[in-house]
Amino acid sequence: MEFGRFQDFLSGLVARQRELFFSGDGKPSIEELLEKLMGSLGEVSGMLTARQVFDSYNEFDDEAKLAFFENLEQNYNANEVAVKLAFEMYTEAATSSNLNRLARAAEPRRLELLRRLNQTPGATHDLVSMRTDLLKLIRDNPNLKAVDENFVRLFTSWFGRGFLVLQTIDWSTSAAILERIIRYEAVHEIKDWDDLRSRIDPVNRRCFAYFHPALTDEPLIFVEVALGYAVPNSIASILEDSPDEGADSAKYTTATFYSISNCQPGLKNITFGNFLIKQVVQELQAEFPSIKQFVTLSPIPGFQRWLDDEAKDEPEEVITLRDEVGALDWDADAVEEKSETISKAVFNYLMHAKRGKYPADPVARFHLGNGAMIYQINTGADLSDKGLSQSRGTMVNYLYDLRFIERNHERFITEGLVEYDGKLKSLLIKS
């Protein structure tokens, strides 16, 4: 039986059993359902109880959801006595068997609860949505971080690379998926269906997305790619470019990743992007052997925050430059007039503003962590309201030089070393 048909069979079974067992008014509390789920249940009873948990949860307001997660944090931890006993046994004899026993004892009951919740059809989607709620609540309830760590641990396993399916998105893709691409685009808004078609249908455009078998028609992350002959220096040159229908695709030399959008807030901090970039590079190389240059045209979402920051932990010359650029009027004319100054400020922001030993800018961390290098700073590259407000109209080309990706990745991860093209060296203010 195919996976989809089997899932339909299970869904129908759960629906029929739900009608049989819960047709009366005696609806159990969610706490009772959770404890029942953690007891000894048959497979069908377990699926049914897990579905009832989700049904109850989905009716909750924010206050009830907070109480639900607090219950998980307080009452579904590891057994302290069992942990202490297992630790003493390991201390006395540090064997592999005792280490495994300690690991099992130290595992919070929450993990097993989440595994059991995931046994009912559609549960993975519900759990991802549940974590979306949890992430919002953590902002004011940091005690729930331990619960989130358990979600992350399981999601990291469930959404491992081996389970991800790469799919090319084109005009023949189902309308349900295309609608989601429009909705989830987070970098450059897709205005309408015509705008979407201009990004995925022309011969010089590609879009790739990762999917997971448990989330039907739900992309996890997608990347939009422009094919051409040179490194682009503005987003208008891509989004407003006319279709390259008459071009010889065998002569394309450059692939530009100009938008990468994560689609599932509940999968935040679950790594997909690095796998996606590398697999897309392989796909494009196979289709277009002439393409030797892989670059991005990326926003700088943290630049304006840095300009507004009063922190003084950078070199004095960088602080002076930051204050100068921060005081500028921001419109197209000002961007053009102060292009060199802005370029210098952006490059030094990427090099000096840190979160730990890594760049503070999230897009820079992503690409540099994947083994790219800073290749080019482009002022006036995005003069939209969003582009001006977050990065003063500036964008960055990160270069994925296939010869040095692994080396760059290792240096970045171990030392926080940021690689950049030699032409940028004159812009750098040394510490």
- pLDDT tens for the 431 residues of the chain, in order: 455 555 555 555 455 445 444 444 567 899 999 999 998 777 888 899 999 999 999 999 999 999 999 999 999 999 999 999 999 999 999 999 999 999 999 999 999 999 999 999 999 999 999 999 999 999 999 999 999 999 999 999 999 999 999 999 999 999 999 999 999 999 999 999 999 999 999 999 999 999 999 998 999 999 999 999 999 999 999 998 766 655 677 789 999 999 999 999 999 989 887 889 999 999 999 999 999 999 999 999 999 999 988 766 788 899 999 988 888 877 777 778 888 999 999 999 999 999 899 999 999 999 999 999 999 999 999 999 899 888 889 999 999 999 999 999 999 999 999 999 999 999 999 87
Cα angle vertex 229, ends 227, 231, to 5°?
A: 85
Q: CB of 336 within 8 A of CB of 325?
A: no
Structure confidence at residue 431 (pLDDT): 76
Residue 73 vs residues 109, 115, 134, 145, 223: alpha-carbon distances, Å: 10, 16, 12, 9, 36
The type of residue at 380 is G
Tell me whether residue 298 is one of the annotated catalytic residues.
Answer: yes
Task: Please spell the DSSP secondary structure of 20-64, one letter per residue.
Answer: HHS-SS-PPPHHHHHHHHHS---HHHHHHHHHHHHHHHTT--HHH
Task: Please spell the DSSP secondary structure of 361-374, one letter per residue.
Answer: -HHHHHHHHTT-EE
Tell me whether residue 367 is one of the annotated catalytic residues.
Answer: yes
CA–CA dist 167, 390 (Å, integer): 31
CA–CA dist 17, 42 (Å, integer): 13
Q: Rounded to a whole number, what is the distance in angstroms from the first to the last CA of the chain?
A: 64
Q: Which two tokens stand for residue 33?
A: 């359902």
Q: CB of 38 within 8 A of CB of 116?
A: yes
Residue 80 vs residues 31, 84, 105, 115: alpha-carbon distances, Å: 22, 6, 8, 21
What domains sit in the chain, N to C, each tagged with a CATH number?
A: 10-158 (1.20.140.90), 162-296 (3.40.630.180), 303-427 (3.40.630.150)
Packed helices 145-158 and 123-138: angle between N→C axes, nearest 10 degrees: 150
Catalytic pick from 234, 298, 352, 391? 298
Q: Global pTM?
A: 0.86
Task: Please spell the DSSP secondary structure of 188-249, one letter per residue.
Answer: S---SHHHHHHHHSSTTEEEEEEE-TTSTT--SEEEEEEEESS----SHHHHTPPP-TTS-G
Q: Quick one: which H or E segment has residue 358?
A: strand 358-359
Total length of the chain: 431
Catalytic pick from 188, 212, 352, 367? 367
Q: Which of 211, 11, 200 is nearest to 119 (CA)?
A: 11
DSSP 8-state class, residue 122? T
